[in-house]
Amino acid sequence: MGQIHESPIDFLDDSVSYLWPTDASPYLSSTFAETRSAHLHSGIDIRTWGREGFRVFASRDGVIYRVAVGPHGYGHVIYMKHGDDSYTVYAHLNRFEPNLQAYTDSIRMIDYSYELDRRIESAGFQFKRGDVIGYTGSTGVGPPHLHFEVRNPDFMPINPLLTNLRITDTLPPVFSQLAVESLHQETLQRTGHTILPVKQTDGVFDFGEITVTGPVGLAVNAHDRADRTPNVYAVHSLKLVHEADTLFHSEADYFSFRDARHMFLDRSYPILAQTRRGFQRLYKVQGNQLPFYRKKINQGVLNWSEGSYPVTIIAKDIYGNESKASLVINVEGAASAGVISYVPTYPVFENRSAFTFRRWTENEIPISHSLLASASSDLSLFPNREIPVYSTFNNYTTIRNLKPNRPELLSTPDQKLWIQFPNSAIYDTLNIKMGVTVQHNQIDIAFNPNRLPLGSSARFNYILPDEFNDKDRLALFSVDHFRNRENYIGSDISDGILRATINEISDLRIKEDRIAPWVGTPKIEKNLGGIYVLILPAVDQMTKIDYRRSTITVNGKKGIIEYDPEKDFLIYYNPDFKPAAENTVEYVVYDGAGNSTSTTVNVPYRR
């Protein structure tokens, strides 16, 4: 049994030393706790100069605890366990060292499965500090690089730069923009924002002056830099100071994976959704459980009486290099009374008077027998509650008040559409409206407020209207109004019910995709491990490539079908494959809606 530690980082003592985990470079492309698409970045990314195949070393003595292989997330990844029960993680690998690669291949070849995620500590793959355990790659996400993590005995990610690992960094952080988020005078719900540009003179940053009429929270767009690299990083520490008083102080040393999605609360999610820039809040909303916050007077909310208030924002990197930015806030109007201990997570609900509603009575709500017949057992988690429901024209609109820390159900009055939220999904009390519009060729589901983060995934279920029963290529999309595009969400349709997992509350659209994937000319080559593979270019713009369903045989032999979504190709992988001069290739490539492209083609190979 491992030692019991009082602090998540006190296992790091003078006896714990880490080796830089690759010979690719001593430079970072990303650092700890940066903004990612769905979570905080849990390690550091080491530059590999756009190349793959650099050696990856065991950073400490240890045993391989877990390996995983797949096209998304960490890609090909090694989890290594050390003598003090802590871990290191090495991700986006091109391949593992030969013996470990052969072991994982033997497992995958049993059923020709691409994806693997298995704990293999009992297999006894022991390595010493400095031993080669793999090679850098680009599997999972992003350009070639090595993602490296340090995790404590509780599997909590720790900032690796808190260890003996160092980079050359003498440069201070840089401020780019400041967002002033307006909060409701009484409820403190977010009502909007203003973005201020920065003026820089001789390393001094100034956001000028702004006039406000009520409480506000600040959010800063800032980044760190390091010597001899063009990359920008997250800052390690942020402070908000008025005169001699520190009003807010955050510092990113560690977090729990349970709270990794709380990035959406540490950053301003409405601004992130709109601009794709991670404005870090200098105040704390209710649902945010990250352990970054050292001090937060009034939760960091600026709630002053009429007057003029100069404030200073201080950004530091982990080596103590710092920059300061100034702002003058002119307040018109009286402050709200009392100490602020609660700032709502979700924004204010739109004024309902802008819509025409008719209240349904209990006897009028149409009940779908097909829903009851097809309901899964987990619907019993949701107790019967009075649900205020409304109708607009021929379509349904539901208004609900959802609560955190309990399972919740949001459904239409006819109960043909329902969304199941587990008890960790809703960060805070949420007043929300959901409307459904059915047209002849698509169905739109709109939410107000829209683009809301969730703490965990919710389950979307919809009994399709009868007029859509003959449409066999339906797919679900989230609608990004800011960029005027639709993003495919994987879904399943069975017995007339479309089911999917959703990771945020955003407008949704159901429509057909009848366009088959484009498939290019296959070619045979050796990968970096010296194994012959067949590369098959494949692209589908609407519903993406379904690599799990797609098949490829070469000379009548099956293989593992791998997929690289960044490069848009499928990979036929069989460790025993030896190409002939002429090779018969048969493939069927599917997209997410079930459209397919197939053929048999002759592929020559010249050694």
Instruction: List the structure tokens of 102.
Output: 């052969």
CATH class of 518-604: mainly beta
- Cβ 301 vs Cβ 215: under 8 Å: yes
352-512: CATH number: 2.60.220.30
User: Cα separation of 225 and 244, whole Å?
Assistant: 28
3-state secondary structure of 549: strand
- Cβ 53 vs Cβ 94: under 8 Å: yes
Match 């709502």 to its residue by tokens: 344
Q: What is the DSSP letter of 374?
A: H
Residue 114 exposed, middle or buried by CB count within 10 Å (0-12, 13-18, 19+) = middle
β-partners of residue 205 are 200, 325
3-state secondary structure of 41: coil
What per-residue confidence (pLDDT) applies to 396? 56
What per-residue confidence (pLDDT) applies to 388? 38
User: Cα separation of 458 and 186, whole Å?
Assistant: 31
User: Cα separation of 96 and 321, whole Å?
Assistant: 38
- Cβ 324 vs Cβ 314: under 8 Å: yes
User: Cα separation of 100 and 90, whole Å?
Assistant: 14
Instruction: Please give the full DSSP string across 174-227, using - where no structure is assigned.
Output: EEEEEEEEEE-TTT--EEEEEEEE-EEETTEEEEEEEEESS-EEEEEEEEB--T
Instruction: Please give the full DSSP string across 240-306, using - where no structure is assigned.
Output: EEETTEEEEEEE-SB--GGGGGGHHHHBTHHHHHHH----EESS--TT---TTEEEEGGGG-B---S
Instruction: List the structure tokens of 169.
Output: 């960094």
Q: Where are the domains of the chain?
A: 28-162, 174-331, 352-512, 518-604
Which regions of the chain are under pLDDT 70? 1-5, 350-396
Instruction: Please give the full DSSP string across 557-592, using - where no structure is assigned.
Output: EE-EEEEETTTTEEEEE-TT----SEEEEEEEEEET
**CATH superfamily to which 28-162 belongs:** Glucose Permease (Domain IIA) (2.70.70.10)
What per-residue confidence (pLDDT) applies to 38? 83
Summarised one tens digit per residue, pLDDT across range 459-495 is 999 999 999 988 999 999 999 999 999 999 999 999 9
Kindly report the backbone phi and psi dihedral angles of residue 312, in degrees, each rounded to the nearest multiple of 5, phi listed first. -125, 135
Sign of the alpha-carbon torsion through 292, 298, 303, 309? negative
User: Cα separation of 598 and 607, whole Å?
Assistant: 27
Which amino acid appears at position 405 of this protein? N
Sign of the alpha-carbon torsion through 312, 315, 321, 327? negative
- Nearest-10 Cα torsion for 185, 189, 195, 200: 80
Pairing of strands 452-463, 497-505: antiparallel
User: Cα separation of 177 and 10, whole Å?
Assistant: 36
User: Cα separation of 555 and 578, whole Å?
Assistant: 10
Instruction: List the structure tokens of 402.
Output: 């959802």
Among candidate residues 52, 51, 32, the one with its CA nearest the CA of residue 42: 32
- Cβ 145 vs Cβ 138: under 8 Å: yes
- Cβ 66 vs Cβ 118: under 8 Å: yes
- Cβ 130 vs Cβ 58: under 8 Å: yes
Query: CA-based Rg of the chain, rounded to a whole angstrom?
Result: 27
Q: In what order do the strands lie in the sheet with 497-505?
A: 408-411, 417-421, 452-463, 497-505, 491-494
User: Cα separation of 513 and 462, whole Å?
Assistant: 18
Instruction: List the structure tokens of 396.
Output: 């349904």
- Cβ 540 vs Cβ 592: under 8 Å: yes
User: Cα separation of 138 and 47, whole Å?
Assistant: 11
What per-residue confidence (pLDDT) applies to 63? 98
Summarised one tens digit per residue, pLDDT across range 116-153 is 999 999 999 999 999 999 999 999 988 999 999 999 99
User: Cα separation of 549 and 377, whole Å?
Assistant: 28
User: Cα separation of 315 and 198, whole Å?
Assistant: 14
Run of H or E including 409 = strand 408-411
Encode burial over 135-161: b for 16+ CB neighbours within 10 A, e otherwise: bbbbbbbeebbbbbbbbbbeebbbbbb
